[in-house]
Amino acid sequence: MTNTSLDRNESHPGYWDSPWPVECGGNRRQKASSGRLDAHEGTPSVTLVENQRWNVMTVRRDPGEWYLGGTMPAFSGPPPFGWVQRYDPTTLKSRAESPHLPCGDHVWCGAILVHADGSVMSVNGSFLHRLDPDDLSVICERELPVDRAHNGLLALSDGTLVTKDLRLEGQGGTTLTFLEPNNLEVTETIVLPEGSMGRIAADLIDGVDSVYVPGTEHIWKIDVTQGKPEIADWKCRYRNQGSNSGLAWDSCISDDHLWIMDCGDIEGVRAIHHTLPNGRFEEAAGKLLSWQRPAPWTSPQRLIRVNQETGSLDAVEPFGNSGGGIIAPPVHIPEQQIVIAWDSINGGLSGISTDGDLEVLWQLDARPTMQPVVFPESGELVINDFTQAQSDDLIVVDTKTGELLSRVATGSRIANGMFLAAGDDRDVYYCSTLSWARISWN
């Protein structure tokens, strides 16, 4: 296998020439930023915006040209809609905003990206939109073939867009939809034999785009050759049928392996996706949607390493506590041969050696929930820690030792599994429900 994915500092095929044009910084979901944060040498400052929206992720086009995308936390009452905002990277003030974007009345965290053609793409619920990058007006709108919430949006090396609907165990097979980027015409669809909860990841291997999909029992690989997607003769069973554990979220592709965590379909996720439209309730759902509820299984949280060529796996239980649970995937740092995992329900953050057997190197008393950012050059991990005081703090951790280098309260009282993004000036953008923020260590 020849992995032809570009390294940290090069552009991403299919995207605008930007260090962070898509969630997690690229299709391999390595969540890595070039440069250094050096948080221990700076004084943290926070700019918080309380907008009463479900803020999902930020992406960058040109220098100083940042976008925020999300939906509305309208689990009951008035119908939801998607939206995208172009904002000032320092003050967070809005410079332009899209009109309300139809979402099929589904409430779920969609995705945005900056395409190679310069336009901003947004998937939300069962709709995909292509937006003008300046005023965010709608260039094209496409209702997707499946009337369910869609989870994640990526561009392949030729610019083709791919997204998928979200289905839990017992809800039938997930559909992957491939679209031409200009007019958003559907070019292909593939229905998997299983449902899928986690977002897709992709890699460029021997000139072929390979899309990896975490199913309810297996991880599936879809190879796209000359625009034609096919389910590859490759899969990995990470979860046995009838297993007393949960489903996997996204993969992190690194060092010729997929890195995943299971135990993800917590009670709140199940509640959202067992309703139609997804996430819509006749009355306020309240604590039904909380990720802090006990897990519906007894299995401890697992970190799983899957060989990208053979599909063979090994796993470790870093914490060993019954009823583990997460709402975001792990991150592997190939420069250090370390993977970072956590348990959101029970608490615990861990660094695990991947040089040979999976060996726990350190543990930290923290309660992370969200998609982190890493700075491999300085060996820093940025992730949240939801405290007992119900304050969602950001912490910066030395990835080699687990030493806590910095802590800052974001001002948010709600934690979820949304995305951090590395800014351009020793800063990080933070997204959560009802608020979002910029945290700088200058």
Cα separation, 378 vs 368, in Å, equals: 21
Specify the pTM.
0.96
Q: What is the pLDDT of residues 324-346, one digit of tens each?
A: 999 999 999 999 999 999 999 99
Contacts of 2 (CB under 8 A, 6+ apart): 205, 206
Say if residue 277 is preceded by a cis peptide, omega within 30 of 0.
Answer: yes
**Closest residue by Cα to residue 256 from 316, 219, 306, 218:** 306
Cα separation, 197 vs 214, in Å, equals: 7
Banded pLDDT at 7 (limits 50, 70, 90): very low
pLDDT at 259: 98
For range 43-65, the mean pLDDT: 97
Q: What are phi and psi of 267, to 5 degrees?
A: -55, -40
For range 217-232, the mean pLDDT: 96
Q: Flag the least confident range among 34-48, 102-116, 237-251.
A: 237-251
Structural Rg of the chain based on CA atoms:
20
**108: its two tokens:** 């779920």
- In this structure, is residue 16 part of a structural domain? no
Contacts of 3 (CB under 8 A, 6+ apart): 203, 204, 205, 256, 308
Cα separation, 194 vs 210, in Å, equals: 18
8 Å CB contact between 176 and 224: no
**145: its two tokens:** 């073939």
Q: What percent of the chain has pLDDT over 70?
A: 98
202: alpha, beta or left? (left if phi > 0; alpha if psi -120 to 50): beta
- In this structure, is residue 5 part of a structural domain? no
Strands 94-97 and 111-114: unpaired
Q: What is the pLDDT of residues 149-197, one digit of tens each?
A: 999 999 999 999 999 999 999 999 999 999 999 999 999 999 999 999 9
Helix, strand, coil % over all residues of the chain, rounded to 5: 5, 45, 55
Contacts of 355 (CB under 8 A, 6+ apart): 337
- In this structure, is residue 322 part of a structural domain? yes
Domain encompassing residue 432: 23-440
How many other C-beta atoms can be found within 10 angstroms of the C-beta atom of residue 289? 21
- In this structure, is residue 258 part of a structural domain? yes
Which CATH number is 108's domain given? 2.130.10.10
Q: List 306's β-bridge partners, or say none.
A: 258, 313
Banded pLDDT at 5 (limits 50, 70, 90): very low
Q: What is the pLDDT of residues 252-283, one digit of tens each?
A: 999 999 999 999 999 999 999 999 999 999 99
Contacts of 298 (CB under 8 A, 6+ apart): 244, 322, 323
Q: Look-up: residue for tokens 């072929």?
A: 208
pLDDT of residue 11 exceeding 60, the answer is no
**Closest residue by Cα to residue 308 from 258, 251, 249:** 258
8 Å CB contact between 342 and 368: yes
How many other C-beta atoms can be found within 10 angstroms of the C-beta atom of residue 47? 17
**172: its two tokens:** 């039938």
Q: What is the pLDDT of residues 159-168, one digit of tens each?
A: 999 999 999 9
Banded pLDDT at 242 (limits 50, 70, 90): confident
Give the sign of the dihedral formed by CA 435, CA 381, CA 215, CA 347.
negative
DSSP string, 124-142: ETTEEEEE-TTT--EEEEE
Cα separation, 63 vs 81, in Å, equals: 28
The total of structural domains in the chain comes to 1
Side chain identity, residue 366: A
**Closest residue by Cα to residue 285 from 299, 275, 296, 297:** 275
Q: What is the pLDDT of residues 366-419, one digit of tens each?
A: 999 999 999 999 999 999 999 999 999 999 999 999 999 999 999 999 999 999
- In this structure, is residue 119 part of a structural domain? yes
